[in-house]
């Protein structure tokens, strides 16, 4: 089973979204979106991102 950050990355690429698109949707900086996507310890925040992408 993929971790939340892996799922975010896969969904983002499938939908053709950039980190900038995700950051804008969540009203956070692009750097923060990248940290959420790449850091497994942020799973609860990543889940929120994951839900918004789907």
Measured distance between the N- and C-terminal CA atoms of the chain, rounded to whole angstroms: 17
pLDDT, residue 6, reads 78
Predicted confidence (pLDDT) per residue in 7-51, tens digit: 778 888 899 999 899 889 888 899 888 887 777 555 555 566 666
Entry pTM = 0.59
Are residues 46 and 37 in contact, defined by beta-carbon separation less than 8 angstroms?
A: yes
Of 11, 9, 13, nearest in space to 33 by CA = 9
Q: What DSSP character marks residue 34?
A: H
Helix (H, G, I), strand (E, B) or coil at 18: coil
């Amino acid at each position: 089973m993929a971790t939340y950050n892996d799922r975010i990355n896969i969904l983002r690429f499938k939908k053709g979204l950039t980190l900038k698109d995700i950051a804008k949707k969540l009203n956070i900086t692009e750097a923060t979106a990248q940290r959420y996507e790449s850091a497994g310890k942020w799973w609860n925040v990543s889940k929120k991102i994951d839900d918004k992408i789907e």
